[in-house]
Amino acid sequence: MLRMDGWCHESTVLINNSSQFDRTNEFIEVKITVSERQITDPVREVRVIYKTAWNIWERLIPCQVNGVERAGDKVIFRVAFFADIPANSISRYGIVYGNPNALPQQENLTLYVRNKENVTEIDNPAYVISIDRKTGQISGVSYKYFRTGFLIPIELSPVNLIQPGVSIQFEDGDWVTAADSNPESLTVEGGTVAFRHKSSRVLKHSSIKKGVCVSTELLFPASQPYVHIREKVTFEEDTPLYGLRLAGHRFPDGVYSHFTFRPTTKPALKKTEVEEMGHLLIDQAYTKNLPEGTVLSGFMPLLMPWTAMLNIHRNRWFTQVRYLLDWKTQNVKGTTIPEYRAATYLMRENGCYESALMPVYTKNINDKRNLTVIPAGTEFSYDIAMFFSPFEEVVWGMKMDHIGRVMNQPLTVQVHPRPVNSVGEWDEHPVFTLTGKRDCDYQTSGVR
């Protein structure tokens, strides 16, 4: 049908799912390079089709085109769509273009972006998340809790509570956060499939000259109950510090009743064994008289498969899970990167809880001999999925663990035809997916 309507060219996307799990609504983004003779306006004319065979065009798939560039006689653009790949199989999708008379695709929006005076709101079927337009940081999270057919919006984080983001405690004891530094660059991309918010900033302090560079990418998929967060922190020079908080999330005291975590699989456990989830009671009724400070200090490993905040009170059964999908540390000069009391921490400060991954945590900051120097050229980079769901007794832990297990199964994506590079060799199309690389954390059969 589409060929008869004038689409002349196609690139084929093959997605291989070698795991035992079906993958549904997987976010796939591929970068395509074509001749300028083959396409006029990628945003208007590109379509994605699900194919059951190389010559059978089954149905149209909503897609989103971003990042259009023209380089000489080439046109480069990115195409994003959601794919379904059954277990142990390969799915085929066609990206068609080359129809100058194509009308704009009919969008079936399940993702709404609203620009208000101080914030940008991203609204999908699971949540409404606000991004502060000045700082570029998440400033508000509302969960859409459905009960007996009614929608009950629950404010998990008020709009005036801007997330601190990456936080560094320098040698004078003061914390400098991403929220303290307005972005030096900020870009957004929107459409049918996802909303992407990218920012970069430099955290500055008197003890260093160049500052610490932080780049953050937030991806909000349509129709999905999660946010994908990709962040990179780069130290341009030797930086002495007392503390380094990464992937932090802050929420007011009283919003959740429990802090829950899934241990990393212990090497000694058999594959048939189950892990025991940990639960920490943070209900305001029991903790309001506790002193502020570190709630969990060095108890949990730095790289936990997932941690979660739960509210299990009747009629307020909701949860927020942070899945670790990838974690990399490297030094471009080959220098060893030091850690000090590296762990996943939970803090209680100023009427709020904050959960963060901390490669460096120093309790006694009165002695500068306790400073840890992060060497120049060090990069911390990580991917995280923030997932929202209702709480279901007995089965909740198993369901959340299954989601993490599935999200960390790799997908192999190939795009054909492949381009030829400047030296005449076959090149690959860049591919971006939200699948994680932490399958090593899920070696046992499950949790309880």
Structural domains in the chain, CATH included, are: 9-108+409-447 (no CATH), 116-407 (2.70.98)
Q: What's the confidence (pLDDT) of residue 334?
A: 87
Does position 248 have pLDDT exceeding 60, yes or no?
A: yes
Does position 4 have pLDDT exceeding 50, yes or no?
A: no
**How would residue 249 be classed by pLDDT, with cut points 50, 70 and 90?**
confident
Rg, Å, the chain Cα set: 23
Does position 1 have pLDDT exceeding 50, yes or no?
A: no
Does position 422 have pLDDT exceeding 70, yes or no?
A: no
Q: What's the confidence (pLDDT) of residue 214?
A: 96
Evaluate whether 384 touches 247 at the Cβ level (below 8 Å).
yes
Phi-psi category of residue 110: left, alpha or beta, with phi > 0 → left and psi -120 to 50 → alpha: alpha
Question: 113 is written with which tokens?
Answer: 């972006």
Distance CA 327, CA 230 (A): 10
Q: What is the mean pLDDT of the chain?
A: 89
Task: Please name the residues in contact with 71: beta carbons below 8 A apart, sequence gap of 6 or more.
Answer: none
Kindly state the average pLDDT of the residues 39-46. Answer: 89
Give me the long-range contacts of 177-181 (CB less than 8 A, separation at least 24). 177/203, 178/135, 178/137, 178/203, 178/214, 178/216, 179/135, 179/137, 181/214
**How would residue 98 be classed by pLDDT, with cut points 50, 70 and 90?**
confident
Output the CA–CA distances (angstroms, integers) from residue 157 to 83, 172, 279, in the order listed.
32, 30, 22
Q: Enumerate the H helices of 210-307 as residue ranges.
A: 284-287
Q: Give tens-digit pLDDT for 271-302.
A: 888 888 888 898 888 887 788 888 877 788 89
Instruction: Please tell me whether residue 146 adopts helix, strand or coil conformation.
Output: strand
Q: Which residue has the higher pLDDT, 233 or 316?
A: 233
* Continuous segment of H or E residues that includes residue 168: strand 167-170
Nearest to 145 by CA among 121, 122, 123, 126: 126
Q: What's the confidence (pLDDT) of residue 20?
A: 93
Q: What's the confidence (pLDDT) of residue 423?
A: 67
Least confident of 104-118, 131-145, 322-336, 398-412: 104-118
Least confident of 38-47, 53-62, 226-235, 305-314: 53-62
Nearest to 166 by CA among 384, 340, 323, 371: 384
DSSP assignment string, 104-144: PP----S-EEEE-SSEEEEEETTEEEEEETTT-SEEEEEEE
pTM of the model: 0.92
Q: What's the confidence (pLDDT) of residue 424?
A: 67
Instruction: Please tell me whether residue 23 adopts helix, strand or coil conformation.
Output: strand
Question: 196 is written with which tokens?
Answer: 């992407």
Q: Enumerate the H helices of 269-326 as residue ranges.
A: 284-287
**How would residue 178 be classed by pLDDT, with cut points 50, 70 and 90?**
very high
- Give the CA-trace dihedral at 444, 85, 87, 53, to 10 degrees: -160
Beta strands of 204-342 (E only): which ranges?
212-221, 226-235, 239-252, 258-262, 274-275, 278-281, 293-300, 306-311, 318-331
